[in-house]
Chain A
Amino acid sequence: GDSVTQMEGPVTLSEEAFLTINCTYTATGYPSLFWYVQYPGEGLQLLLKATKADDKGSNKGFEATYRKETTSFHLEKGSVQVSDSAVYFCALLNTDKLIFGTGTRLQVFP
């Protein structure tokens, strides 16, 4: 069945460091891909999405490119801030189901 694999956390960075969180997927067909962010004690917020191969989703300085050839959707940010500390979920949407990865906790220190 469809699945999403994310790198295990926590990812610990200093402020202004470069961020990469790896995400790969297995799916039939052509799923849409998403990154959601969850701040402590809150629900999930859509961060960015891409609906077809080679699409780049971007928001708030984060970006991810839908790579069909490597079945990947890695999240990147050039310069993280303390306020980016959260759990990041990669997900795919195929038919009616949103399938999540296990989440990667990001901790950014001043």
Chain B
Amino acid sequence: DAMVIQNPRYQVTQFGKPVTLSCSQTLNHNVMYWYQQKSSQAPKLLFHYYDKDFNNEADTPDNFQSRRPNTSFCFLDIRSPGLGDAAMYLCATSRDRLAGVSDTQYFGPGTRLTVL
């Protein structure tokens, strides 16, 4: 089945040690998103790619970077994780924009990041 895949499902890193989270999709969608979800909170958009066009949210810390080497894959890099970065990270995709409005977003299962 076509889907959004995130690896790993659980990631443990040490304070200040760079970590990369991975997302892949078989939906052939043009748009990919990364969200951060802290415990008992709503997901917060970090950034998204429309094809190769990167769009950063104004309040996303510089510590967070992203790469999209091709249509199928998107990576979230956390350069120096702090304790406050422990969260669930959700990847999502949408098919395209239509008259300026994106289509439905489909989410992966998430990667839970623990920072020791």
Q: Which residues of A does B touch, CB under 8 Å?
A: 32, 34, 36, 41-46, 49, 89, 93-98, 100-103
Contacts and interface: CB of A to CB of B under 8 A. Distances in A.
Main SS class of interface, B: strand
Contacts of A103: 40-42
Contact of B45 (A41, A44, A98): A98
B101 A94 contact: yes
Given A43-B90, A49-B104, 8 more contacts: A32-B104, A44-B90, A46-B104, A89-B42, A93-B101, A93-B105, A95-B101, A101-B42
Contact of A45 (B40, B88, B97, B107): B107
A45 B92 CA distance: 10
Q: Size range of the interface on B?
A: 20 to 34
B55 interface: yes
Nearest to B111: A43
B107 A96 contact: no
